[in-house]
Amino acid sequence: MLHRVMSSRFGIALSVGLLWLSGCAPSTVDKAEPQALSSSSAEQEAKVKPGKAVSGNSGSSSSLDAYRQGKRPESGPLKEIFFAFDRYELSEPARTVLRENAVWLKSNPSAKIEIEGHCDERGTTEYNIALGAKRAGAARDYLMSLGVAAGRISTTSFGEELAICKESSEECYQQNRRDRFVVGRGGPSS
């Protein structure tokens, strides 16, 4: 299954990129192993790839690592932010958390982070991957406006694939509409 996902990488990347630009998504989806849309802030091109492990001595592991181990993702030194349904604009509470996260990042200048964009289960897989990418990008852009260097931030979208709450309820949906901040290798432990 993973080989099939990897071999169709270019087609998926092209499709997701076009969907992201158009804001539209097809209504049917062939679900496979969880996929991620990743983007380095230095590279603005959208790429689809399985989430990478960025855990180390520094606090938190990626949601994909936790999923593969059958565990809930660990929390690290940076707090998550949450979004309204079908939105990627930052709320005032999200901006407050991002300001706190920026303070931590500035006091730990060697730390690099990966921002994971997540969605609830509503919408197609392609649409949710694009929405998760926009959510992660919004957080990245705000952190950069607060003085965090672009080279320290990368983004990944898991869309709806790595839900932390599996019930079909608004309370669960709200928990899944989030950005998670994973501190990468080489960062300080906290």
C-alpha atoms less than 13 angstroms from C-alpha of 78 in its C-beta half-sphere: 34
Chain segment 1-48, per-residue pLDDT in tens: 333 333 333 344 434 443 443 343 333 333 444 545 544 433 333 332
Nearest-Å Rg of the Cα atoms of the chain is 15
pLDDT of residue 68: 83
77 pLDDT more than 60: yes
DSSP string, 41-63: TT--S-EE-PPPP--SSSS---H
Mean pLDDT throughout 114-137? 97
Q: Which of 49-58, 81-90, 163-172 has the lowest mean pLDDT?
A: 49-58
**Is residue 178 domain-resident?**
yes
Helix orientation angle between 125-145 and 92-107, rounded to the nearest 10 degrees: 60
**Is residue 80 domain-resident?**
yes
Confidence of residue 80 (pLDDT cuts 50, 70, 90): very high
pLDDT of residue 140: 98
The rounded percent of the chain whose pLDDT value lies above 70 is 65
Residue in the block written with tokens 């192993």: 33
Q: How many domains does the chain have?
A: 1
Domain of residue 134 covers: 2-22+34-183
C-alpha atoms less than 13 angstroms from C-alpha of 179 in its C-beta half-sphere: 34
Q: Which of 9-18, 61-70, 94-103 has the lowest mean pLDDT?
A: 9-18
Chain segment 149-165, per-residue pLDDT in tens: 999 999 999 999 999 99
The rounded percent of the chain whose pLDDT value lies above 90 is 56
What is residue 115's three-state secondary structure? Answer: strand
Confidence of residue 92 (pLDDT cuts 50, 70, 90): very high
**Is residue 105 domain-resident?**
yes
Mean pLDDT throughout 83-104? 98
| 46: CATH | 3.30.1330.60
87 vs 83: CA distance, rounded Å: 6
**Is residue 68 domain-resident?**
yes
Confidence of residue 112 (pLDDT cuts 50, 70, 90): very high
**Is residue 28 domain-resident?**
no
Q: Tokens in use for 111?
A: 């730390």
pLDDT of residue 67: 79
